[in-house]
Amino acid sequence: MTNQATPQQIIEVGRRTIHAEALALKHMEEALGDEFVRAVELILSCRGKLIVTGMGKSGHIARKIAATLASTGTPSFFLHPAEAFHGDLGMISPEDVVLALSYSGETDEILKIVPFIHTNGNPLISMTGNAQSSLARNSDAHLDIMVRKEACILHLAPTSSTTAQLAMGDALAATLMHMRGFTAMDFARLHPGGSLGRRLLMTVGNVMRSADLPVVAPDCSAKDMIHTVSKGGLGLIVICDEGRIEGIVTDGDIRRAMESRQAEFFNIRAMDIATRNPKCISPEAKLIEAEKKMTQHKVNSLLVAEEGKLLGVIQIYDIKL
């Protein structure tokens, strides 16, 4: 049967949960010390991969930590401890370092593979809430994630403890990124399908529109400007003379001219309302450069040009797909 509660009571339970987890992270922040340094040094000196393992909820967190590390410059993968004990230990090479997660430090599936890790010569880093546990005592470095209580209303379900595990994993990843000098470009190379990777790796020439550009002559009439800007679908027209860019007219320019000139509007020519020397960019420029230029000049479009010759148009919508 569902308990009846007011909206304020619902919010209060949520706030207590977040507060409990925040306190756990604060305690962990203050306790961070030499063992964290040791763990980072072991991973930095690793000639192979970082193998992350954990069971149950710790296993879910271990998978995320492995994925974060792998995407930020530390070769890493998750190994299920039960599968490891039944044949997958062959995935661990002597050059690897093992990071094992177990809040109790007594998880049977983890402890069963510790003798192999030692025999194989792998440094072992543990992440537990008990520095005196079997796993902690048999590790080369121990990351203490002890929490005073779980955020769960019964103080039973892994909540504060899994948050602590996740935060410690992020602390490792961020510190390793700093130590390796990991850059935004490095991140982009590992995330070519992501938004940042796309903006850092792809060029303006890769995404610009170059076919059926809305180009008009300097003496284009108002009527033809309206027709061309509507047909072009870019919200602008480019004025060119013998292939060279002379100016740009946006649909906003046309509307403002209609309002200000009224009866005289249909007597104007394109160059009468054009923005001369419009903002241009090279086709070799990265998308992130185009984005910065658009932001700096508060425009949504750039003309792509070389030596004054129009090659294409790129808009903010092409960058932020």
pLDDT per position as a tens digit, 277-309: 899 999 999 888 998 999 999 888 999 999 989
Give the list of residues 6+ apart from residue 118 with CB closer than 8 angstroms, or none.
124, 138
Task: Please indicate, yes or no, whether residues 161 and 272 belong to a single structural domain of this protein.
Answer: no
Q: What is the pLDDT of residue 321?
A: 58
DSSP characters over 201-222: HSBHHHH-B-SS--EE-TT-BH
Element (H, E) at 238: strand 236-241
The burial of 72, by beta-carbon neighbours within 10 Å (0-12 exposed, 13-18 middle, 19 or more buried), is given as buried
In this prediction, residue 111 carries a pLDDT of 96
Are 167 and 216 in the same domain? no
* Residue 245 contacts residue 312 (beta carbons within 8 Å): no
User: What is the pLDDT at residue 263?
Assistant: 81
Task: Tell me the pLDDT band of 195, cut-offs 50, 70 and 90.
Answer: low
Q: Is the pLDDT of residue 193 over 70?
A: no
Over 80: is that where the pLDDT of 2 sits?
A: no
For tokens 């470095």, name the residue. 141
Q: Assign 101 a pLDDT band (cuts: 50, 70, 90).
A: very high
Residue 56 domain-assigned (yes or no): yes
- Per-residue pLDDT tens over the stretch 224-264: 999 999 898 899 999 999 889 999 999 899 999 988 888 88
Domain enclosing residue 97, as ranges: 7-182
Share of the chain above pLDDT 90, in %: 69
Whichever domain contains 252, its CATH number is 3.10.580.10
Q: What is the mean pLDDT of the chain?
A: 91
Instruction: Look at the chain and report how many structural domains it folds into.
Output: 2
The pLDDT value recorded for residue 1 is: 60
Asked if 91 and 165 sit in the same domain, the reply is: yes
